[in-house]
């Protein structure tokens, strides 16, 4: 079996595949953090607070500025922005589940969740397009499977 030498175009495609996949993965992770529920636990038994192994809304409690939160802050009313920022800037132990649920509800109501879902799908499609520039074969198939697992996962 001969070794396939990778040319510059293929190296660039692999790099762009990986970058787009990483962004899609992070967006998916952020969405799962907000949207996974106790009912999802059946998908990953033994996990508390969400199917994928992290506390639901933990990113909000930690004050993380995800794509969802950034979009929400741009779309909401000034008074709501101040409330959201107060929650994000609070110590984790002072952030209640009620506060977290309120921010999640606003993110859904203002379309920030839908925006992140669309952006994640676009990045996954972009990653797949870069992958298609590589020669067909088992390696490309494995990379496609990896992409599907990482960005379409439920845990």
Report pLDDT digits (tens) over 73-91. 999 999 999 999 999 999 9
User: At the top level of CATH, which class does the domain 8-152 belong to?
Assistant: mainly alpha
What pLDDT is stored for residue 103 in this prediction?
Answer: 97
Is residue 33 within 8 Å of residue 54, measured between CB atoms? Answer: yes
pLDDT of residue 35: 87
pLDDT digits (tens, 9 = 90+) for 123-147: 999 999 999 999 999 999 999 999 9
Structure tokens at 121: 């799908």
pLDDT given for residue 106 in this prediction? 98
Task: Give 37's DSSP letter.
Answer: -
pTM given for the model: 0.82
pLDDT attached to residue 44: 46
- Check if the beta carbon of residue 116 is closer than 8 Å to that of residue 27: yes
Residues of the chain with pLDDT under 70: 1-4, 37-54, 153-155
| Per-residue pLDDT at 2 | 52
- Contact yes or no for 21/127 (Cβ under 8 A): yes
**Structure tokens, 29:** 């992770």
Query: Would you state the torsion angle of the CA atoms of residues 113, 118, 121, 127, taken in this order, to the nearest 10 degrees?
Result: -120
Pick from 116, 56, 109: which is nearest to 80 by CA?
109
Which pLDDT score is estimated for 48? 37
Residues 20 and 5: their CA atoms lie apart, in Å, by 23
**75: which 2 tokens?**
């779309």
CB atoms under 10 Å from CB of 62, counted, come to: 12
């Amino acid at each position: 079996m001969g070794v396939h030498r990778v040319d510059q175009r293929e190296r660039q495609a692999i790099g762009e595949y990986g970058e787009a996949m990483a962004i899609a993965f992070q967006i998916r992770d952020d969405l799962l953090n907000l949207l996974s529920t106790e009912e999802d636990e059946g998908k990953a038994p033994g996990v508390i607070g969400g199917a994928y192994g992290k506390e639901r809304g933990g990113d909000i409690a930690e004050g993380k500025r995800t794509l969802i939160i950034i979009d929400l802050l741009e779309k909401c009313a000034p008074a709501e922005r101040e409330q959201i920022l107060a929650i994000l800037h609070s110590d984790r132990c002072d952030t209640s589940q009620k506060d977290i649920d309120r921010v999640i509800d606003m993110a859904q109501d203002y379309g920030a969740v839908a925006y992140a879902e669309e952006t994640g799908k676009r990045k996954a499609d972009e990653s797949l397009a870069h992958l298609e520039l590589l020669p067909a074969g088992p390696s490309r198939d494995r990379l496609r499977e990896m992409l599907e697992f990482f960005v379409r996962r439920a845990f």
